[in-house]
């Protein structure tokens, strides 16, 4: 009975982990540039002992990846709202080093330094700081130009660092940002293109996630019933032993 109880409890734990992934996806259905986490499970055969058969298999949660599907580009009309065409990532600076994101909500701080979600935006030549300007332009290659407050002189103030690594080179952190596997900064890619005045929506499919959550709830109920059955069988066995 202990084996049955352990197997059911392991299954219930796996379902709870999967529910956490689905719940996080649903919570970020409206988060700009969010990439849905995937649920990955590996079937692990329990090594038989004695004359037992290969009949016990445990579900083991693997490191979850993320959906590579691009979100819909929604127009905003704001120059510093940026979206990446096709593949690529924006670069930002964090206490843990350089990180990457698909969110392009760029906001200057009080000193004029460009930030995304409060993190400094990484440029090809370092952080980008905007001086006082009358007009702002962002090219498809991420070059940022301004028309100064005084005069009609157009000057380039920096270029966004855009990367497009192989997805096997990066992993998603708990903060929702992407990091290189070796912790080293990724090289800039000149072929990544951006669109000014657009934001990429989350690629979470809310209906699919909700249906999956309902299915997981039913699976959890099955595992709980198995644990209850194991408990009843154990109690019946104990009564037989006492009456013998």
Q: What is the pLDDT of residues 105-153, one digit of tens each?
A: 999 999 999 999 999 999 999 999 998 888 999 999 999 999 987 777 8
**pTM beyond 0.85, yes or no:** no
Say whether pLDDT at 46 is over 90: no
pLDDT number for residue 26: 93
168-222 pLDDT, tens digit per residue, is: 889 988 888 999 999 899 999 999 999 999 999 999 999 999 998 899 889 888 8
DSSP string across the chain: -HHHHHHHHHHHHHHHHHHHHHHHHHHTTTSTT---B---EEEEEPPP-TT--S--EEEEEPPP-B--PPPPEEE---TTBEEEESS-EEEEEETTEEEEES--BEEE-TTSBEEETTEEBEETTEE-B--SEEEEEE-TTSEEEEEESSSS-EEEEEEB-EE---GGGEEE-TTS-EEETTSPPPPP-TT-EEEETEEEPP---HHHHHHHHHHHHHHHHHHHHHHHHHHHHHHHHHHHHHH-
pLDDT of residue 205: 92
Residue 115 is predicted with a pLDDT of 96
What pLDDT does 52 receive? 67
Higher-confidence position of 93 and 230: 93
Dump pLDDT digits (tens) for 57-112.
Answer: 766 666 668 888 889 999 999 999 999 988 899 999 999 899 999 999 999 999 99
What's residue 62's pLDDT?
A: 67
- Top pLDDT among 54 and 98 is at 98
Q: Which of 14-28, 66-80, 205-219, 224-238 is the least confident region?
A: 224-238
- pLDDT at res. 154: 86
């Amino acid at each position: 009975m202990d084996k049955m109880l352990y197997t059911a409890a392991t299954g219930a734990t796996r379902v709870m982990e999967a529910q956490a992934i689905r719940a996080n996806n649903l919570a970020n259905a409206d988060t700009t540039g969010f990439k849905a986490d995937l649920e990955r499970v590996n079937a692990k055969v329990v090594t038989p002992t004695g004359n037992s058969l290969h009949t016990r298999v445990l579900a083991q949660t693997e490191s979850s990846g993320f959906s590579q599907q691009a979100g819909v580009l929604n127009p905003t009309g704001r120059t510093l709202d940026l979206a990446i065409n096709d593949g690529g990532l924006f670069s930002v600076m964090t206490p843990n080093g350089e990180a990457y994101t698909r969110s392009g909500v760029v906001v200057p701080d009080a000193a004029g330094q460009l930030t995304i979600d409060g993190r400094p935006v990484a440029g090809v030549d370092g952080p980008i700081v905007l001086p006082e300007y009358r007009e702002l332009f962002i090219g498809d290659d991420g070059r940022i130009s301004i028309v100064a407050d005084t005069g009609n002189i157009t000057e380039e103030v920096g270029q966004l660092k855009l990367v497009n690594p192989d997805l096997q080179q990066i992993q998603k952190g708990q903060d929702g940002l992407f990091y290189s596997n070796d912790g080293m900064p990724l090289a800039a890619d000149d072929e990544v293109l951006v669109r000014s005045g657009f934001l990429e929506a989350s690629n979470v499919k809310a209906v699919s996630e909700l249906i999956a959550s309902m299915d997981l709830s039913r699976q959890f109920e099955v595992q709980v019933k198995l644990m209850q059955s194991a408990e009843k069988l154990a109690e019946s066995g104990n009564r037989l032993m006492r009456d013998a």
